[in-house]
Amino acid sequence: MPWNNPKKFRAEARQSREAWERARTIAAILIQPHVKKGNKVTPQQLISLPWDKKQKHRTGKPTELTAEEKRKRFEEVARRLGDEINN
């Protein structure tokens, strides 16, 4: 069961993502000769994958958290860890 082993789960997720990336790249290469001259088809234009949107958000500068936001995040993490430790 990969979900019981985080390393195995991440490895399988990475392999799956790489397979999807390969598939859409090959699709773009195969369709390119059939597209009008001057137009270029990118793999992202053919098939949109869930992680494409996430990458766009990461390209900007990271926003600096205020002291209040940092405190709230810390309290939330501490609460979650406390729940896990107590169970």
If pLDDT is split at 50, 70 and 90, which confidence band does 15 have? Answer: very high
pLDDT at 83 > cutoff 80? no
Contacts of 8 (CB under 8 A, 6+ apart): 2
Q: Measure the CA–CA gap between 68 and 76, rounded to whole angstroms.
A: 12
pLDDT tens profile 52-76? 876 545 555 667 888 998 899 888 8
Model pLDDT for residues 37-46, shown as the tens digit of each residue: 888 888 888 8
Classified as helix, coil or strand, 21 is helix
25: Cβ–Cβ under 8 A, 6 or more apart, which residues? 43
Report how far apart, in Å, the C-alpha atoms of 56 and of each of 31, 62, 87 are: 25, 12, 38
